Homo-oligomer: A and B are copies of this chain.
Amino acid sequence: MRILHTADWHLGRIFHGVHLTADQAFVLDRLVRLASESKPDVVLVSGDVYDRAVPPPDAVALLDDTLSRLVLGLRIPVILIAGNHDSPERLSFGSKVLAAQCLHLAGTPAPDATPVVIDDRHGPVSFCSLPYAEPALVRERLDRKDVVDHDSAMAAQIESARRRLPAGSRAVLVAHAFVAGGIESESERSLSVGGAAAVGVEHFEGFHYAALGHLHRPQRAGADHVQYAGSLLCYSFAEAGQTKSVNLVELDAAGRCAVERIPLAPSHEVRCIRGAFRELLAGPRAAESREDYIMAVLTDKEPILDAHGRLSEIYPNLLHIERSHLAAAGETGGAARDHRRLSDLELFRAFFSQVTGDELTPEQAEAYAEIVENLRRAEREAD
Contact = CB atoms under 8 A, between A and B. Distances in A.
Contact of A97 (B71, B89, B90): B71
A97 B54 contact: no
Interface string A94-117: 111110110101001000000000
Contact of A101 (B64, B100, B105): B100
A57 interface: yes
Given A57-B108, A108-B57, A103 B97 contact: yes
A55 interface: yes
Contact of A72 (B57, B65, B72, B100): B100
A97 B61 CA distance: 12
Instruction: Provide the main secondary structure of the chain A interface.
Output: helix
A91 B54 CA distance: 12
Contact of A64 (B63, B67, B71, B95): B95
Contacts of A92: 57, 60, 64
A55 B98 CA distance: 19
A354 interface: no
Interface residues of A, number: 27
A68 interface: yes
A98 B101 CA distance: 8
Contacts of A89: 54-55, 57, 60, 90
Contact of A94 (B55, B57, B93): B93
Nearest to A56: B89
Contacts of A57: 89, 92, 108
Given A57-B89, A89-B55, A89-B57, A94 B100 contact: no
Centre residue among A89, A93, A103, A108 by max chain B CB count within 10 A:
A93
Given A89-B54, A108-B57, A64 B94 contact: yes
A95 to B, nearest CB: 6
Interface of A: 54-55, 57, 60, 63-65, 67-68, 71-72, 87, 89-98, 100-101, 103, 105, 108
Given A97-B101, A97-B103, A98-B98, 4 more contacts: A54-B89, A63-B93, A64-B92, A94-B105
